[in-house]
Amino acid sequence: MAGQVRPITLVGTPVLHAPCRHVEDFDAALAELVDDMFASMYEADGVGLAANQISVDLRVFVFDCPDADGTRHRGAVVNPVLELPALEDRRLDDGDEGCLSVPGPHARLARPDHAAVQGFDVGGKPVRVEGTGLLARCLQHETDHLEGRLYIDRLSARARKKVLKEYEAARAEAEESLASGGQ
């Protein structure tokens, strides 16, 4: 796989908490960014990654995950617009959700079990991705990132506090382990 692995941006970093800029140039730099995003996502064992998760303020995300039927979907969407079923047609999936930018903890988060995004591929051609199951969750999660929202922003105050406490504890433990030489 081409592409350079870039560090994952962590919760609290300003680029994660503000809406991203629209992509205007569908050029070699965008293709290189998408390659880097795939490499970074795979290195981190993720199923989706938004550009701001590697500190790039652009509306693009990549994904590689199965739908509710187990069919694997892989791609990139530039300038995505999320489409959800009408309220009367929505069924919620209250599965666990996590995030590479909040490594470690997961939390239950109800999201519609069907979603679609319209946008463009890396070459600037219109694209539509529709998904169920994990793919639907991924499309919503990554689009949220591009709006400056993390999944923890959708949790109750109590659940958000619990996730952040677990994240901080795991981070402190990792730093302590590094400081003691990995023992």
What pLDDT digit, counting tens, does each position of 87-121 carry?
999 999 999 999 999 999 999 999 999 999 999 99
CATH number where 55 lies: 3.90.45.10
Is the CA virtual torsion 62, 53, 131, 47 positive or negative? positive
Residue 142 in any domain: the answer is yes
Q: How confident is the model at residue 160 (pLDDT cuts 50, 70, 90)?
A: very high
Residue 7 in any domain: the answer is no
The model's pTM is 0.94
Six token digits for residue 182: 């990995």
Residue 4 in any domain: the answer is no
Q: Which residues of 101-114 are buried (b: 16+ CB within 10 A; e: fewer)?
A: bbeebebebebbbb
**Is residue 17 part of an annotated ligand binding site?**
no
| Gyration radius of the chain over CA positions | 17
Can you give the pLDDT at residue 126? 98
For residue 69, is pLDDT > 80?
yes
Q: How confident is the model at residue 182 (pLDDT cuts 50, 70, 90)?
A: low
Which secondary-structure segment (H or E) carries 176? helix 157-179
Residue 6 in any domain: the answer is no
Is residue 83 flagged as an active site residue?
Answer: no
Mean pLDDT of 145-171: 96
The more confident residue out of 138 and 104 is 138
Mean pLDDT of 124-144: 98
Burial of 88 (0-12, 13-18, 19+ CB in 10 A): exposed
For residue 1, is pLDDT > 80?
no
**Residue 96 amino acid letter:** D
**Is residue 141 part of an annotated ligand binding site?**
yes
**Is residue 99 part of an annotated ligand binding site?**
yes
Range of the domain at 48: 14-178
In the numeric block, the tokens 């609290």 are attached to 12
For residue 47, is pLDDT > 90?
yes
In the numeric block, the tokens 């300038």 are attached to 79
Catalytic position from the list 142, 147, 168, 176? 142
Distance CA 156, CA 78 (A): 30
Can you give the pLDDT at residue 171? 87
Distance CA 104, CA 171 (A): 9
Residue 8 in any domain: the answer is no
As for how many domains the chain has, the answer is 1
Query: What percent of the chain is modeled with pLDDT above 90?
Result: 91
Residue 97 in any domain: the answer is yes
Q: Cβ distance 116 to 147 under 8 Å?
A: no
For residue 170, is pLDDT > 90?
no
